[in-house]
Amino acid sequence: MTTPLLSLSHISKRYPAVLANDAISLNVFPGQIHAILGENGAGKSTLMKIIYGAVQPDAGDIRFQGQAVRIRNPQQARALGISMVFQHFSLFDTLSVAQNVWLGLDKSLSLAEVTQRIRDKASLYGLDIEPDRLVHTLSVGEMQRVEIIRALLSEPRILILDEPTSVLTPQAVDKLFAVLRQLVVEGCSILYISHKLHEIRALCTHCTVLRGGRVSGECTPSQETNASLSQMMIGGEPPALVHQARQPGEVVLDVKQLSLPRLDPFGMNLQPLDLQVRQGEVVGIAGVSGNGQRELLYALSGEDTRAAPESICLAGQSVGNHDPAHRRAMGLHFVPDERLGRGAVPSLSLAHNLLLTRSEAVGATGWIDMKTLNNQADAIIARYQVKAGGAHATAQSLSGGNLQKFIVGREIDAAPKLLIVSQPTWGVDVGAAAQIRAAILALRDAGCAVLVVSEELDELFELSDRLHVMAQGRLSPSIARAEASVAQLGSWMSGLWDTNSEALH
């Protein structure tokens, strides 16, 4: 067809510190999977929010099915047939999955009908989720599934997906792609934001590239390489990651027979597990979201203090029942997977967010030295190339990738003895991902012990010296990266490992 389903003409949006969209024009045609590619802060999410009615443009026109429209809010967007899955979830923690989905649907449906539709869609698309679960009991990966199912239940004409596969397993990604291709056959168009260049090349039929809030080019992804797409997006290829073999030092984290009953009915019981992380090594933990990673991270970071004191030792001291502040004072720093709300307070400035885990700017009498605090924030912003309006910018004003760079920088800059990182490059562009991974390896080379929990196997193979897999609350033996394979780890994700094997330390 020659008439676009959606047409944007000279869309602009300015915020106090940045011009997010600068006269952007693009067309989306029926049955098209249209990628929007760009580095963090390029204006992708702002543009998608304008299409969805969550943000109003300062200038420009929108036409839907050839008719001029002004999309004032998401309700109007959904009425037109536009649905969106946000990178940062828009779910109410205290409501159930079904209640959250029900809020965005026709109220002529009963909650019981919505619950059944969720089960049907989840089964059909391989996005297993229990409709009665409260959202606060879900892992990040499970929240992502809820968002995708909620969007699909509205039978959209245009489906906007912002980093939809960030926390999905390779098998789940394959199922999602099959769903998206079927939607296209049925006449739906898809706007697809992802930093995974191989996904864009495999899935998308057209690509618009943004740089600095402007359209810098268009292409057919299948005719491009990862290198050429990277060139269009960031002006070059990110530097290759250098992972040098080194002999690890003393044990920093020693977990012995750690077991914990789940805190909520939908959590995962931690089975007795052993884990060691030494100075100068990166240990990676792979696994499908919801298999006990969250419970393990809470126990290690000190958010859950129910563990037997001697089951978690930090630098030889029992800390199983110590809180996060005590463990932080001993050199443990933690980067959670939930950026907004756990890693950072959305409404606070970047400078004030430093105070969550850093105390260098706090004097002996408890007064905060704001000059020192702002300088500290500015130094992290500069070192990690965070696109932000300075130390006073609020956390919620940053793109997801830039906020991730700041949070990772905040913890690495503290020179920890043990760094625990969950999903280090979730939603981060290729350039920023390379920067974060290089910073983690540099920390490891400086003698820090690093534990990385990620659902991206490629990332774990790039970073790790040794690997474990979590499945059903159990931890596999460790295996050296050089001896591991994707196929082997994939089978271990189902719990298929020999429990009598000796861990390779």
Q: What is the DSSP string of 464-480?
A: -SEEEEEETTEEPPPEE
Any idea how long the chain is?
A: 505
pLDDT at position 501: 47
Decide: 72 and 53 in contact? Cβ < 8 Å.
yes
What CATH code would you report for 249-331+417-505?
A: 3.40.50.300
Site of tokens 């992972």: 243
Decide: 436 and 404 in contact? Cβ < 8 Å.
yes
Q: Give every strand in the sheet of 6-15, ordered side by side.
A: 18-28, 6-15, 59-64, 67-69
How many C-beta neighbours within 10 Å does residue 156 have? 20
d(CA 336, CA 224): 35
d(CA 450, CA 331): 12
Report the C-alpha dihedral over residues 424, 429, 434, 439, rounded to 10 degrees: -50
pLDDT at position 505: 38
Q: pLDDT tens digit string along 92-151?
A: 888 999 999 998 777 788 999 999 999 998 887 777 789 999 998 887 678 878 888 888
Low-confidence ranges of the chain (pLDDT < 70): 1, 88, 140, 166-171, 498-505
* Mean of pLDDT over the chain: 90
Paired strand residues for 6: 28, 64
Distances (CA, A) of 242 to 197, 235, 239, 390, 441: 21, 21, 9, 31, 8
Residues 6+ apart with CB under 8 A from 488: 479
* Paired tokens of 304: 């859950």
Paired strand residues for 386: none
pLDDT at position 170: 67
Residue type, 46: T
pLDDT at position 491: 85
d(CA 98, CA 106): 13
User: Which DSSP category does 265 fall into?
Assistant: T
* Paired tokens of 311: 């089951």
* Paired tokens of 114: 């919505």
Q: pLDDT tens digit string along 13-45?
A: 998 878 999 999 999 999 899 999 998 888 998
Please state which architecture CATH assigns to domain 6-234: 3-Layer(aba) Sandwich (3.40)
d(CA 86, CA 305): 33
pLDDT at position 167: 62
442 φ, ψ (degrees, to nearest 5): -65, -40
pLDDT at position 499: 45
Axis crossing angle, helix 140-153 with helix 170-185, rounded to the nearest 10: 10
Looking at 338-383, list the stretches that DSSP marks H as alpha helix, in order from N- to C-terminal side.
350-354, 370-383
Every domain of the chain with CATH number 3.40.50.300 lies at 6-234, 249-331+417-505
> The whole model's pTM is what?
0.76
